[in-house]
Amino acid sequence: MPKGFKASAVSAGIKKNGKKDLALIVSDVPAAVAGVFTNNRVQAAPVVLDKQRLAFGTCRAIIANSGNANCATKQQGMADAVAMTRAVSDALSVDPQQVMAASTGVIGVPLPVEKILSAMPNLVAALDPDGFADAAEGIMTTDTKAKLVRRQGEIAGRGFQVAAMAKGAGMIRPDMATMLCFVCTDIDMDASSLQQALAYANARSFNRITIDGDTSTNDTVLVMANGRSGAAARTPEQKDAFSALLAAVLEELARMIVADGEGATKCVEIAVVNAPDEKAARQAADTVANSNLVKTAFFGEDANWGRILAALGRTGVEFDPERVDIWFGDVRIVENGSGCGAQAEAAATQVLRTPEFSVYIDLKAGASHASVLTCDFSVDYVKINADYRS
């Protein structure tokens, strides 16, 4: 794990099932901090608080709870977010401005902050350099598995590490971030450069996934860099190298989120090529990836390419429908806007029976491309979300 970081998680009783629901990440020294957040107009109290504290430039700790979003809770919600960070700053004897907060769970229910305050001694006592797996578990809601990625890098002969955790399985169509993601690295990097690296990495990872087309009120990605490894990113080339590694870490987490989508049985890449421009390519890929008819066809393992073509037709992107090719994996099922026949459909069905595959859409209308990760839409997704609050 990155040097100078510890993490922990405990059950504070926020969740009804008694599972871990309170996590803490701490840097031994002040760390440069960067963050991206939801663009949803409805924003949870911890999101508002973190955006204010991000200007401080450094961070010592992140406290996160699951089971309650602390959103649409008015002035009391902000007071509760401040209270949970104050409890951390008091326990660790650090500046309260250097403590970030995050919450995830049910919207519109007051945060049982007294449970968080009561659990603080045990949470702090449990801090451990090997506690990241526990913390990744503590931020889960409908996730079926914890999501944790570790990578090593080297700059100017000095090694450094990156460790990142994320949660997310539903309400995923990120707009600046995903549900929750916390990244720790022991590289030395200034906050402004770290923010640029995060923006680059986020655009290539979390902003290219969708599960159900819904953008959360609590989306938060925070990165802390404490410099304890001795490695430093100072030159443009060094900063680019770190940005590339961070992007690789977040891309792996993003794929894990889609694969763990609520009720999902398929992880599917929608890749649009030869579009008029990158914006058009992204718009086309996004529309197909979020089509309920397309996603239910994936679940049913039905090579219903007509739904894909119909989705493309409502994107507003300029293309000639009679020139479009569509591939499921290495099987071309549509050529120049027409189906390739029963044999091609049978082969495409075999592709659809695999847990991960790609759909390639060639618009033949330019030279730009874009891709989005999505999943299928199953009966279990409906069941999970119908019973979410009960």
Catalytically active residues, by annotation = 178
Rounded CA separation 282/265 (Å):
24
Is the CB of residue 176 less than 8 Å from the CB of residue 37?
A: yes
